[in-house]
Structure 1
Amino acid sequence: MSLSFDPFSQLDRLAQSVLDTSRQPRLMPVDLFREGDRYVLNADLPGVDPGSVDVDVDGQLLAIRAERTQENRDTSRWLAQERPFGSYVRRFTIGDDVDAQGISASYDNGVLSVMIPIAERAKPRKIQIESASSHRPKAVTT
């Protein structure tokens, strides 16, 4: 294996490390789609300890927080360090059409999956059409 030295990439990494602090929230790519009677949100969080992941709902705000810690390699000489560490935060506004009490989440292979069920009142429903003759007052015979 040969390692080549690219001064421009090294300069780019240096500038990024100076301008980018670990206190800034990191990018958390997500996919969001509707599947039947629920929304599914999948968030990529590779290398994140599942114990650091927090999903909460406050009113109409769904928040996802996670923390990826930096590996302690004090005795190592870094040749490349591109994997970000620090805080990950994403916030989503949820509508009245979801059942906030029924939201669930799981974490597997670096992907956080949040299942957001659609509220019964927001699901489409079929309206029964009655015959016009069934609403006419019936004649009373004496």
Structure 2
Amino acid sequence: MATSFDPFREFDRMAGSVLDAMQGPRKMPMDLYRDGDTYVLSADLPGIDPGSVDIDVDGQLLTIRAERTLPKGEGVKWITRERQAASYLRQLSLGQGIDTEKISASYDNGVLSVTIPVSERAKPRKIAVTTANDSAPAAIEDATAQS
């Protein structure tokens, strides 16, 4: 099988890896949605050791960091190396109404899932209506039934 050497492609690959290294931490692709009273963040982190994932909350700022390291072996001669060791970073402003004490995370099949619950005080609630004559809540259904 004959292979051809393209010096421009090799130069492009080397320049890309140098520029990637200079850019610093990479962003991780993620999805964020609300399911009832909980926000769910799913971030792709393939090949990441779960022990390298660091999630912290500082005030209203959620920070996710992860590190991908590649195995190093004595006497290893790489044939091709397209996967790079990398640092990943994502920061999100949580805003008000989040219960930061109950945030949880899990990692499965290369996907990090972070569950972010809405605080009790930020959930929608009904307000009772009182009448001027007494402090008991008015029964709105009873008033409409008498009409």
User: TM-score if structure 2 supplies the norm length?
Assistant: 0.79
**SS of residue matched to 1:83:** coil
* Aligned: 1:77 with 2:78: yes
The C-alpha deviation readout for 1:43-79, integer Å capped at 9, x for no partner, is 1100000001011111011000111002225522333
Provide the rounded CA distance (Å) in 1 between the counterparts of 2:32 and 2:65.
17
The one-letter amino acid of 1:64's match is I
The answer (yes or no) to whether the contact 1:32–1:41 under 8 Å persists in 2 is yes
The C-alpha deviation readout for 1:29-51, integer Å capped at 9, x for no partner, is 11111111010011110000000
**SS of residue matched to 1:76:** coil
> Which residues in structure 2 correspond to 1:84-99 (within 5 Å)?
84-99=84-99
Q: Unmatched 5+ residue regions in structure 2?
A: 135-147
Residues 72 and 96 of structure 1, relative CA distance in 2, 3 Å threshold: same
Q: Unmatched 5+ residue regions in structure 1?
A: 138-142
The answer (yes or no) to whether the contact 1:23–1:87 under 8 Å persists in 2 is no
Provide the rounded CA distance (Å) in 2 between the counterparts of 1:3 and 1:129.
81
- Residue in 1 that maps onto 2:145: none
The answer (yes or no) to whether the contact 1:48–1:67 under 8 Å persists in 2 is yes
Residues 2 and 65 of structure 1, relative CA distance in 2, 3 Å threshold: farther
Residues 60 and 3 of structure 1, relative CA distance in 2, 3 Å threshold: farther
The C-alpha deviation readout for 1:11-43, integer Å capped at 9, x for no partner, is 211111222327811231111111110100111
Provide the rounded CA distance (Å) in 1 between the counterparts of 2:3 and 2:70.
24
The one-letter amino acid of 1:136's match is N
**SS of residue matched to 1:17:** helix
> Which residues in structure 2 correspond to 1:1-142 (within 5 Å)?
5-21=5-21, 24-72=24-72, 75-79=76-80, 81-130=81-130, 134-136=131-133
Name whichever of 10-19 and 43-52 sits farther off: 10-19
**SS of residue matched to 1:28:** coil
The one-letter amino acid of 1:76's match is K
The answer (yes or no) to whether the contact 1:22–1:87 under 8 Å persists in 2 is no
Residues 18 and 119 of structure 1, relative CA distance in 2, 3 Å threshold: same
The one-letter amino acid of 2:103's match is I
The answer (yes or no) to whether the contact 1:64–1:91 under 8 Å persists in 2 is yes
